[in-house]
Amino acid sequence: MNREREKQEGKCKALSVLLFDTNPTDLIRQAEPLEARGFDVCKCMTVETALRCVEREDFEFAVVDQGSRAFESLRVLRHLVRYNLRTRFVVVAEQEDPRCRDDAFALGAADYLQKPLSTMKLNSILQKCFGSLAGHTRGDG
């Protein structure tokens, strides 16, 4: 059943989160607290996989790794913005790069953070973006 149909039928569903990181350890570290709070997490390790996920599903939130200073994941952010303007997202980076930070904010990033992204910081961002909905399933209808 697709997401739009679930919304029309008023079924409860978990908030949907896209995680994109080419480092498997970071991907797992970021996914665990989200999954523990009941989020529906789509984990992607390649730009191509992330692009396909964005085309198939509407995400409420995304955590996107900057990658290198070449900012390969900028393609993922542009795709997110093109397919769903409402997706809130943050960019995480091993080392801050002013040009990448500026590009991320220009596309609408809620924040640009240095790795590792702590559970406390992630919870703070979710609270800022979603208020009392953070960590709960959402009922549409």
Q: What is the pLDDT of residue 59?
A: 94
Reported confidence tier of residue 91, pLDDT bands at 50, 70, 90: very high
Max avg pLDDT among 3-12, 61-70, 91-100: 91-100
Those residues whose C-beta lies under 8 Å from the C-beta of residue 41, and which sit 6 or more positions away, are 17, 19, 31, 34, 35
Grouping H, G, I as helix, E, B as strand and the rest as coil, residue 110 is: coil
- Is pLDDT of 133 > 60? no
pLDDT score of 64 more than 50: yes
pLDDT tens sequence across 93-111: 988 899 999 999 999 999 9
Q: pTM for the whole thing?
A: 0.82
The pLDDT value recorded for residue 40 is 94
How far apart are alpha carbons 16 and 133 in whole angstroms?
12
Do residues 47 and 70 lie in contact, with contact meaning Cβ atoms separated by under 8 Å?
no
The answer to whether position 118 is within a domain reads yes
Pairwise CA distance, residues 104 & 100, whole Å: 6
Pick from 8-22, 62-76, 111-125: least confident: 8-22
Whether residue 69 has pLDDT greater than 80: no
Q: How many domains does the chain have?
A: 1
What one-character DSSP code corresponds to residue 37? T
**CATH code for the domain in which residue 40 is found:** 3.40.50.2300
Domain that holds residue 75: 17-129
Tell me if 97 is assigned to some domain. Answer: yes
CA separation for the pair 7, 57 (Å, rounded): 13
Which among 38, 29, 28 has a CA at the least distance from the CA of 60? Answer: 38
